[in-house]
Amino acid sequence: MLSLDYHTYLLTIVSTVLVGKKLWHGWIVAAVNSVVICFIGVRTAQFGFVPANLFCIGLYASNVSSWRPKDAGRSSLESPLPPTASS
Number of alpha helices (DSSP H) and beta strands (DSSP E) in the chain: 3, 0
Determine how many CB atoms are found less than 10 A away from the CB of residue 55.
Answer: 11
**Cα–Cα dist 38/44, whole Å:** 10
**Cα–Cα dist 14/71, whole Å:** 26
For the chain, 87 residues long, give each residue's pLDDT as a single digit of tens.
568 889 999 999 999 999 999 999 999 999 999 999 999 999 999 999 999 999 999 999 999 999 888 765 555 555 455 566 665
pTM, two decimals, is: 0.74
